[in-house]
Amino acid sequence: MVQPMDIADTLSKTELASKLNQIKKASPEMEQRHFAQTLKEKTSAEASRTQESMKSDMLIISKDKQESENKKRDKQKKDDSGNQDDANNQSDSKHLDLKA
C-alpha cells in the first residue's frame, strides 16, 4: 500500500511535471515563431533595399533608351537627307524610256 506522504509528494510533483511538459511542447512552436519573425524582418529589409537599387537601375535603363532613340533619330535624318539628295540627282538627269 502507498503511504500518505508519497501520495502528497506525487500530487505536488504532477503539477510541476505538467507545466514542464507544456513548456517542452511550446518550445518548438516558439522557435518556429521566432524563426518566422526573423525571416519576415530580413525579407522586408531586403525588399526595401532592392527597391532603392531598382530606382537607380531605372535611371540607367532610361538613359540607355534615350541614347538609342537619339541614334535612331540621327540615322533617320541621315537616311532622309540621303534620299532627298538622290531624288534631286535623279530629277536632274534625263529620263530615258526604252521599249523593246
In the predicted structure, residue 89 carries a pLDDT above the cut 70: no
Q: What percent of the chain clears pLDDT 90, i.e. is strictly above it?
A: 9
CA torsion sign for 85, 89, 91, 95 is negative
CA dihedral 29, 34, 35, 39 (to 10 degrees): 140
User: Domains of the chain: which residue ranges?
Assistant: 11-75
In this predicted structure, the answer to whether residue 39 has a pLDDT above a threshold of 90 is yes
- pTM greater than 0.75 (yes/no): no
How many Cα atoms occupy the beta-carbon half-sphere of 21 within 13 Å?
6
Least trusted range by pLDDT, from 30-39, 57-66, 71-80, 82-91: 82-91
Q: What is the mean pLDDT of residues 77-93?
A: 65
* Cell numbers 540607367: residue: 60
- Spatial distance between the Cα atoms of 20 and 26, rounded to a whole number of angstroms: 10
Alpha carbon distance 60, 67 (integer Å): 11
